[in-house]
Amino acid sequence: MAVNWGSEGPYCEDFEVGMKYVSYPSRTLKYEDNLLWLSFSGDYTPLYFDEEFAKKTEYKGVIIHPLLVLQLVVSLAVKDSSMNTVAFLGQEYARLLKPVYPGDTIWVETEVVSKRESKSRPYACVVTWIHRGYNQKNELVAEVKRSNLIYKRENSPWRKYLESVGKV
């Protein structure tokens, strides 16, 4: 199922345990994306940029840096999960299940696995999701389980800002 939360994004009230949805658009990763990530991270593992070396590995070529893949999976899901975040609470796990190659296109399915009222902040709730990243062959390549503290609609600073500029 695709969702369209509009410019406001979802609030605490919009999530139900068990709901699944797909975030669009997807994203095609390029070799240049990998180089940018490597430049920012300082990781110079040859598997991620040295084609001649990478051809001699089990991957038969350069692969996209795993942390870039995991970050992309979360990033693609943000507009449909955590635009109205009070705070990122943590990540229980992040797994790579298949290598991602330059030219692969990643799309994300999100499942709401838990939701509860915040004990310390009555204006928010804690939502936990599993984000599953798939490639263009519909192969599961990555999975991330994370939790955020999410504003309730009436308390969202984002909503108040949009109201102040006449967008709600």
CATH of the domain at 117: 3.10.129.10
* Residue 168 near residue 149, CB atoms below 8 Å: no
Domain count, the chain: 1
Per-residue pLDDT of the chain (168 residues; tens, 9 = 90+): 778 777 788 999 999 999 999 998 999 999 999 999 999 999 989 999 999 999 999 999 999 999 999 999 999 999 999 989 999 999 999 999 999 999 999 999 999 999 999 999 999 999 999 999 999 999 999 999 999 999 999 999 988 998 899 887
Determine the structural domain holding residue 56 and report its residue range: 6-164
Q: Is residue 1 part of a domain?
A: no
Residue 93 buriedness (CB in 10 A; 0-12 / 13-18 / 19+): exposed
Q: How far is CA 120 from the centre of its chain?
A: 26
Tell me the whole-structure pTM to 2 decimals.
Answer: 0.93
Other Cβ atoms less than 10 A from the Cβ of 92: the count is 12
In a domain, 119, yes or no: yes
Task: Let me know if residue 95 belongs to a domain.
Answer: yes
Is residue 122 a part of any domain in this protein? yes
Q: Beta strand 124-134 with 105-117: parallel, antiparallel or unpaired?
A: antiparallel
